[in-house]
Homo-oligomer: A and B are copies of this chain.
Amino acid sequence: MREKTERIVREWSDSCDAEVSIAVLGGAWKPSILTLLGEHEVLRFGELGRLLQDPTSRVLTRQLRELEEDGLITRTVYRQVPPKVEYRLSELGVSATPLLGELTRWGTQYAEQQRSSLNRVPSPSE
């Protein structure tokens, strides 16, 4: 578990475990990574990079390491030349897929509603 995650897990023993979820799932590319791994079962580092439209490898590596530390994904290294590394969801990662679905659903609905209200004439009071 990452130090950041651990800190949050310890401090918020009650009352706001939602912050735990956000600490683990929040972060650049993380929801996308988990969603893609849920769809493809297994992906290599380069495949993930392409599917995500090329984050810098530095950043992608960090996110993958954090997800691994937090126990959501597994990393399999094949010691060969050229190297080959596979990522897939762990059991814990699989357990998060329904939640990711809910996050996506609500986010989509929110975005649509906000977009449509942008097109309406602002009320006189604002």
With both beta carbons as reference points, the residue of chain B lying nearest to A16 in the complex is identified as: B32
A9 partner residues in chain B, CB cutoff 8 A: 110-111, 114-115
Most B C-beta atoms less than 10 A away, residue of A9, A22, A111, A113: A111
| Inter-subunit contact B99/A102 (CB<8 Å) | yes
Copies in the complex: 2
8 A Cβ contacts from A82-126 to B: 92, 95-96, 98-100, 102-111, 113-115, 118
Chain A window 17-60, contacts with chain B (Cβ cutoff 8 Å), 1 for yes, 0 for no: 11111101110000110010000000000000000000000000
Q: Would you give the shortest CB distance from A92 to chain B, in whole angstroms?
A: 7
Residues of B within 8 A of A24 (CB): 107, 110
- By beta carbon, the residue of chain B nearest A9 is B111
Asked if A103 and B18 make an inter-chain contact with CB atoms under 8 angstroms apart, the answer reads yes
